[in-house]
Amino acid sequence: MLGFVHGDPFQREFRQRPRGNAPGGSGVARLRGDEFAVLAPATDGPAAMAFATELEGRLAQPF
């Protein structure tokens, strides 16, 4: 465990990553601990899958 000194900056960067190409009106929220939620406006299935795939790639990048 590295503690809050290192954890807080990590969480701030983690919260920023989904916002890169998120649809307008999207939001990111920390639910608790290491759980986050991304809320995006209604869209069709292919667009939602494209955003989810891009988001997965963003979050997989080293911090």
Q: What are the tokens at 55? A: 């988001």
What is the residue type of 34? D
Of 55, 2, 3, nearest to 26 by C-alpha is: 55
Q: What are the tokens at 47? A: 């667009």
Of 41, 42, 43, 38, nearest to 55 by C-alpha is: 38
pTM over 0.75: no
Residue 55 banded pLDDT, cuts 50, 70, 90: confident
| Comparison of pLDDT for 56 and 7, the residue scoring more | 56
Q: What value does the mean pLDDT of the chain take? A: 76
- Alpha-carbon distance 48 to 54, whole Å? 10
Q: Each residue of 22-49: pLDDT tens digit?
A: 667 777 777 887 787 888 777 788 888 8
